[in-house]
Amino acid sequence: MAAFRQFVRRMLRHRAAVAGAVFFAFVSAGGLGAGLVSMGPLLRIILEGRDGTTLRSVVEDHVASGGFPAIPASWVAWLPTDPLEGVALLMGGLIVLTVFGATANFLHQYLTGSVVARTIAGVRLEAFRHVISLPLGTVVSRGPAELTSRITRDCVELQHGLQALLGRSVAQLTRGLAGLGAAIWFDWRLTLAAFLVAPPIGVVIRQFGRRIRRSTRAALESQEDLLRASNESIQGLRGVKTATAERAGIRRFNRANREVLRQELRIRTSRAIASPLVEALAVVVLAGLAILAAKQILDGNLALEQFVMALGSLGVAGASFKPLTALVHDIQASSAPAERLVEVLALPPESAGDRRLPRLSRHRTSIRLEGVSYRYPSATEPAIDGVDLEIGHGERVAIVGPNGCGKTTLLGLLPRLLVPTAGRVLIDETDLAGVSLRSIRRQIGVVTQEPVMLRGSIRENIVYGLAGIDDDRVRDAARLARADSFIERLPNGLETEVSEQGASLSGGQRQRLAIARAILRNPSILLLDEATSQVDSESEELINLALGDFAVGRTSITVAHRLSTVLSADRIVVMESGRIIDDGRHDELLDRCESYARLVRTQMVPV
């Protein structure tokens, strides 16, 4: 429960609202307690009214015996002497108390809902902000589905627990205490006897709570698998359909769905057993109390109306405490998502200590890799193995090689998306490990094979990651990227909405928007990861023209499968099995590098 308590402390940051919620819960419960206490005189008037008992005489008897605090005689004299009028006055008072208690209960629930919603919104934002700041390798190894599930699903489960703690638990607890207070007022001996048999019920609740916590954690983990199975199939629906893999996708989803069901049924079983078991114990307790009270009544040591009201007050207390069993289980269940959220928040971000590092000056001389190696966390072999490479400022370099040789990994080292496991990456003789990440990435423009497209306007997709950009600069970037021609044909120009993942645009249009995004950043280094591999020849020509103009005076590094891209480079770097095996011009490599010649013959798309 330590993780859950950590989020409870976050909730307590809203001190005024929390204090108000607890205060109004006690006010509401106080109205209930006062109503129960007033039922004693009401019952006595009804039972003994024919013998001349009135509300005034009941109060006078209680004041005389010390049962009520001192009441001014003028107040007592104002009380009615007619039994029916006394009943009417008491019932009117109960109605007033009910309205007062209902208002206090509303304010308690309102403040509780506000505090919990604001707390969870803050936790959700912090979790998302932290995940975004994690190293790419950490996110890749854990998987987007796991982290997304923790940000969304786990926060929902945690919200249930916080709501149960501050909302229903406080309300039921204060009402139960009010009922106990009334029971003590009527007969403290019965109440003490009820307390003595309460510990076994607490033990039962605790044991089942532990089982529910373990099962909830397992259920959340299985829901991650369910989210992963659904995302993989739905996001890759084009590939699923073309591979006629619908049945395989359904089987994977069904396996994950069955595991979720199994874990949720375990939780259901624990909850289903706990509630009737606690009820059975409570009935045994009440039966024992009834026998004890019957003996006291028969011996003349307890008045019947006292017993009835004490037992009734204990019943009210029991009815209020009964939901606490389920609420304790809700809180126990919420400790599992709390633990999982704390685990994510404890992962070290990639920019830890970044504020203390100096900024990287704008690139002007060279990029150099010295003995660089990189191995992915779950891999047995390095993706990059002892690479040495130097690229001059303004040089256009193409990186080629068979699939899986480490080309994309090599590009990922420059903006420090990946941190070398050995060696150094230097820009202008400055080791990237010693400068701030933000200063590195601000001067690097990246265009990938599948650029990120948001569900929003064309303009929002171009300025993504930048602030304070006016429309003139956006239009200039679109023109340089050769995107202005298709943007002008859209219904609302720059304000035209783009579908999720850019589905409403062609591949070439998405790439040109990505280039416009890179242009707007005015980078000194341009990284292109197979930017034209999935577009038609017309789009490729437009993209190459845009990149050719924009790359002048900038260092450009391209992972290429198109022969036209390779031929336009100043230098070609050939990779194989994570190593650089040669570099040079196209004609030179055709003559001396068999691996390059084979790539040209078998894999590179001709001009």
CA distance 510 to 535: 10
How many residues in the chain? 607
Q: Are 466 and 522 in contact (CB under 8 A)?
A: no
Boundary residue ending a domain (345, 377, 399): 345
Is 312 in the same domain as 410? no
Encode pLDDT of 12-66 as tens digits: 888 899 899 888 888 887 766 666 666 655 555 555 555 555 656 655 555 555 5
Average pLDDT over residues 508-514: 86
Model pLDDT, residue 278 = 61
Is 88 in the same domain as 113? yes
Average pLDDT, rounded, for the chain: 78
Burial of 574 (0-12, 13-18, 19+ CB in 10 A): buried
Is 369 in the same domain as 273? no
Give the pairing type, strands 396-400 and 384-392.
Answer: unpaired
Distances (CA, A) of 143 to 113, 128, 140, 296, 567: 33, 14, 5, 68, 37
In a domain, 101, yes or no: yes
Q: Which residues pair with 572 in a beta bridge?
A: 398, 584
Residue 397 pLDDT exceeds 90:
yes
Model pLDDT, residue 530 = 75
In a domain, 523, yes or no: yes
CATH (domain of 418): 3.40.50.300
CATH (domain of 152): 1.20.1560.10
Tokens of 577: 């099995």
Model pLDDT, residue 410 = 93
* Amino acid in position 167: G
Model pLDDT, residue 52 = 54
In a domain, 266, yes or no: yes
Model pLDDT, residue 414 = 93
In a domain, 350, yes or no: no
Is 191 in the same domain as 290? yes
Residue 293 pLDDT exceeds 60:
yes
More confident residue, 318 or 164: 164
Range of the domain at 559: 360-602
What is the DSSP track for 340-370? HHHHHHTSPPTTTTGGGSPPPPPP-SEEEEE
Is 365 in the same domain as 324? no
Burial of 489 (0-12, 13-18, 19+ CB in 10 A): exposed
Boundary residue ending a domain (345, 372, 387): 345
Model pLDDT, residue 429 = 92
Encode pLDDT of 307-343 as tens digits: 666 666 666 666 656 556 666 667 777 888 888 889 8
Least confident segment among 456-460, 476-480, 497-501:
497-501
Is 339 in the same domain as 464? no
Is 395 in the same domain as 276? no
In a domain, 150, yes or no: yes
Tokens of 260: 């979720």
Confidence of residue 215 (pLDDT cuts 50, 70, 90): confident
In a domain, 236, yes or no: yes
Q: Are 59 and 79 in contact (CB under 8 A)?
A: yes
Least confident segment among 4-8, 139-143, 391-395:
139-143
Confidence of residue 274 (pLDDT cuts 50, 70, 90): low
Q: Are 127 and 341 in contact (CB under 8 A)?
A: yes
Work out how many domains the chain is built from and give that number.
2
In a domain, 353, yes or no: no
Is 333 in the same domain as 376? no
Is 432 in the same domain as 338? no
Residue 607 pLDDT exceeds 60:
no
Confidence of residue 399 (pLDDT cuts 50, 70, 90): very high
Is 152 in the same domain as 15? yes
The model carries a pTM of: 0.71
Give the pairing type, strands 366-374 and 422-427.
Answer: antiparallel
In a domain, 309, yes or no: yes
Distances (CA, A) of 225 to 108, 131, 144, 229, 232: 38, 19, 11, 6, 11
Its sign, for the CA torsion 158, 164, 167, 169, is: negative
Model pLDDT, residue 337 = 85
Encode pLDDT of 542-571 as tens digits: 777 777 778 888 999 998 877 777 888 899
Model pLDDT, residue 76 = 57
Is 34 in the same domain as 156? yes
Boundary residue ending a domain (296, 322, 345): 345
Encode pLDDT of 336-380 as tens digits: 888 888 988 888 888 766 678 899 999 999 999 999 999 987 788
Is 101 in the same domain as 153? yes
